[in-house]
Amino acid sequence: MANVDYPDPVRALIVHLKQLPGIGPKSAERIAVWLMQQGEEVSTPFSEVMESAGREVIECRLCGFFSTHEKGCAVCDGLQRDGSLLCVVEQPTDILPLERSGAFRGHYHSLRGRISPLDNIGPEELRIRELLDRLRAGAFTEVILALSSDVEGEATANYIAELLRGIEGISVTRLAQGMPAGGGLESADELTLMRALQGRVGLG
Ligand SMILES: [Zn+2]
């Protein structure tokens, strides 16, 4: 006796949905069935926005934030930014919480991760060369390390601070203590971020 299963297009949809973060097999099945039941009125615009996000959104080659081919980067192209301050974060998603805190109007640099030997992530895997290139161009006078306060974040901060020692005219600071460990800046509230920025401390 043949097993009865969903038709192939639904099974294919479930396979793709299961790849999404936080979506297990049960949720994938539920979403796929819901989409099918809504029909083309919902599924067509859904697939269109997904396709255009995948096609148009790129990583800004300067700061690493999300940008689009058409409109560029809202951070790097933004007006009235302090061109002497550069805030280094782990992920592009760390930029928005800092922006929302209202306490920082300089520029950003996302590393796209942090040094993590267990995950085979060394300095070469991060956007550190790009960081050095930006600093050597000469406009920045202070680099603020806004990395998480766990072991890997600390190791990354120390590594970068050591590298920057060799660059003339740049002082290196870090956020005041109290940043969440590991969870990234997204999990910090705006007031905490504002205080952490205002209370930043110099590194050697
Ligand atoms: Zn940018």
The Å distance, Cα 74 to ligand 1 centre, comes to: 7
The Å distance, Cα 77 to ligand 1 centre, comes to: 7
Task: Considering only residues 121 and 188, tell me which one the structure prediction assigns the higher pLDDT.
Answer: 121
121 DSSP assignment? B
Q: How far apart are CA 131 and CA 85, in angstroms?
A: 13
The Å distance, Cα 138 to ligand 1 centre, comes to: 17
The Å distance, Cα 180 to ligand 1 centre, comes to: 25
Placement of tokens 């080659």 in the chain: 61
Q: How far apart are CA 152 and CA 158, in angstroms?
A: 10
Please give the pLDDT value at position 2.
66
Residues 115-160: tens digit of each pLDDT: 998 999 999 999 999 999 999 988 999 999 999 888 898 899 999 9
Residue 1 above 80 pLDDT? no
The string of DSSP letters for 123-170 reads GGGTTHHHHHHHHHTS---EEEE---SSHHHHHHHHHHHHHHTTSTT-
Domain segments of the chain as ranges: 8-58, 79-202
The Å distance, Cα 125 to ligand 1 centre, comes to: 19
Grouping H, G, I as helix, E, B as strand and the rest as coil, residue 201 is strand
Grouping H, G, I as helix, E, B as strand and the rest as coil, residue 66 is strand
Q: Among 64, 68, 126, 60, which Cα is nearest to 92's?
A: 64
Q: What percent of the chain has a predicted confidence (pLDDT) above 90?
A: 66
Grouping H, G, I as helix, E, B as strand and the rest as coil, residue 70 is coil
Please give the pLDDT value at position 148.
85
Residue 177 above 70 pLDDT? no
Q: pTM value?
A: 0.83
Tokens linked to 52:
């255009």
Please give the pLDDT value at position 193.
81
Tokens linked to 12:
């294919």
84 CB-near residues (< 8 Å, 6+ apart): 106, 139, 140, 141, 142
Q: How far apart are CA 64 and CA 43, in angstroms?
A: 31
Length of the chain: 204
The Å distance, Cα 92 to ligand 1 centre, comes to: 10
Residue 178 above 60 pLDDT? no
The Å distance, Cα 62 to ligand 1 centre, comes to: 5
Confirm or reject CATH 1.10.8.420 for domain 8-58, answering yes or no: yes
The Å distance, Cα 137 to ligand 1 centre, comes to: 16
The Å distance, Cα 44 to ligand 1 centre, comes to: 31
The Å distance, Cα 107 to ligand 1 centre, comes to: 8
The Å distance, Cα 198 to ligand 1 centre, comes to: 23
The Å distance, Cα 191 to ligand 1 centre, comes to: 25
Across residues 163-189, what is the average pLDDT? 77
Residues 10-64: tens digit of each pLDDT: 999 999 999 999 999 999 999 999 999 999 999 999 999 999 999 999 999 999 9
Highest mean pLDDT: which range of 1-10, 118-127, 192-201: 118-127
Tell which CATH architecture fits domain 79-202. 3-Layer(aba) Sandwich (3.40)
The Å distance, Cα 91 to ligand 1 centre, comes to: 13
